[in-house]
Amino acid sequence: DASDIEKGTYPHYMLKEIDEQPLVMRKIIQAYQNEMGDLTIDHGVLNAVLAADRIYIVACGTSYHAGLVGKEFLEKTAKIPTEVHVASEFVYNMPLLSENPLFIFISQSGETADSRAVLVRVKELGHPALTLTNVAGSTLSREANHTLLLHAGPEIAVASTKAYTAQIAVLSILSEVAGKVKGFDMEFDLVQELGIVATAMEALTDDKEAFEQIARDFLSTTRNAFFIGRSLDYHVVQEAALKLKEISYIQAEGFAGGELKHGTIALIEDGTPVLALATQENVNLSIRGNVKEVAARGAHTCTIAMKGLEEEGDSYVIPHVHELLSPLVSVVPTQLISYYASLHRGCDVDKPRNLAKSVTVE
C-alpha cells in the first residue's frame, strides 16, 4: 500500500526501513506459517532443496553478505554443504559443480545483472535455481524454477537494511524446514526465537540516541574505520563495513579478528576507530584479545557485545537472542551507526554518490 513507499514523518527512507525490521520479522513468520502455526515451505522449493547434494548461493553486495549467514544455517540445521559466491566472479571462476547442485540467487530487487548472468548460465547447464527476492515477478524470480519472497515491503534507500535481515530470516526458515524433513532434531523453536529477535530489534531501534552518540564519538571526522568479528560476527562486520562505506564514504573494512595479525594490524594508528562485535560465546575470549591488541596500538575501540558476554568498558550491550540468529540483531546497531555517521558528515543518506539501487548493468 501507499504508506509503504512514503517516508511519512521519517527524514530518510533508510531510517524508516531500519525501524521496519521488527515488523518484517513478524510478517515473515506469518507468511511462512501454516494453520497449525508450524513453519512451512512450498513443496516444490523444499523438494529442490532436499534433492541437492550441494547448494551454491550466488549474490552481490549486501545480499551476498546475507548468503554468508545463510550458509551457516543450511550447513548447521539442514546439513547441506553450501558455498557462497559473488555473482560477478562466478562466471570466470566457476567452481567444480557437484552432481546435483541447487543454485540459490539472493536479490532484493531481483534485477541485478551480475546475478542474472549466472542464472542464464546455470539454466544453460540445466541446473535448478531458486530465487529469494523482495520483488514478486522480478526478472530473477521469473527466470528461476522456484521463488521465495522476502516480505520486507518496498526498500527505497540505496543502502539495503531490512532486505538483509529478511533474507537471513527466510534462509533460517528454509534451513529449519529442510532439516526437520530430513529428521534432524531442532534444538530450538524457530518461531519463538524469531519472535525474540523481533523484540530485540525493537529495543535497539528504540535506543537510537546511543548509536547516534557512537557515530559521533567514533566516526565524525575519521577517514577510515575497521570492523572486526569472528565466526558469525565476521559475516556481519563485512556487511557493517559495506554499509558505512556506501553512505558515509569512510573507508571501512570488515575483518576476521584472527586475520588482524596477518597484516591489517599494521594500519592501526593513534585514534583509528575499530568496532568489534562480540556475540559468539566460543570466540568471545579471542575477539576480546583482538580488541586489546588494537587498543594497545592506539586504536579507538568500540565493542558491541551480546547480553551474557558483556565486559566492563563495552560501548553497547544488545539483548540476548539465540547465537545462530545473532546477525539479525547485531547488524541493527551497525546500520544505525552508519546512518548517523552519514548524517553527521552531511552525506546524502538515501542516495549516495555513484550508486544505484539496483545494478542492472554488468
- Measured from the CB atom, the residue of 240 and 306 that comes closer to ligand AGP is 240
Q: Are 149 and 134 in contact (CB under 8 A)?
A: yes
Number of residue whose CB is nearest ligand AGP: 61
Q: Is the CB of 82 or the CB of 88 nearer to ligand AGP?
A: 88
Q: Is 104 helix (H, G, I), strand (E, B) or coil?
A: strand
**Which single residue is written with the C-alpha cell 570488515?**
254
Side chain identity, residue 339: Y
Find the shortest distance in angstroms from Cβ 178 to ligand AGP: 23
Residues 31, 149 contacting (CB under 8 angstroms): yes
Q: Which is nearer to ligand AGP, 107 or 279 (CB)?
A: 107
Q: How far is the CB of 254 from ligand AGP (least distance, A)?
A: 13
CB of 221 to ligand AGP, least distance (A): 24
Binding site for ligand AGP (CB under 6 A): 60-63, 107-109, 112, 115, 158-160, 246, 358-359
DSSP string over 122-182: HHHTT--EEEEESSTT-HHHHHSSEEEE-------SSS--HHHHHHHHHHHHHHHHHHHHT
Other CB atoms within 10 A of residue 198 CB: 22
Give the residue with the Cβ less far from ligand AGP, 213 or 358: 358
Out of 7, 180, 351, 357, pick the active-site residue.
357
Q: How far apart are CA 144 and CA 89, in angstroms?
A: 20
Q: How many CA atoms lie within 13 A of 245 on its CB side?
A: 17
CB of 143 to ligand AGP, least distance (A): 14
Select 132 or 321, whichever has its Cβ closest to ligand AGP: 132
Find all residues with CB under 8 Å of 338, minimum gap 6, and list them.
Answer: 159, 215, 240, 243, 244, 247, 248
Q: Kindly state the smallest distance separating residue 160's Cβ from ligand AGP, in Å.
A: 4
Give residues with Cβ within 8 angstroms of 263, minimum separation 6: none
Q: To the nearest whole angstrom, how small is the minimum distance from the Cβ of residue 292 to ligand AGP? A: 32
Whether 357 is catalytic is yes
Closer to ligand AGP by Cβ: residue 110 or 179:
110
- Read off φ and ψ for residue 61, nearest 5 degrees: 55, -130
Any idea which residues carry the catalytic annotation? 357
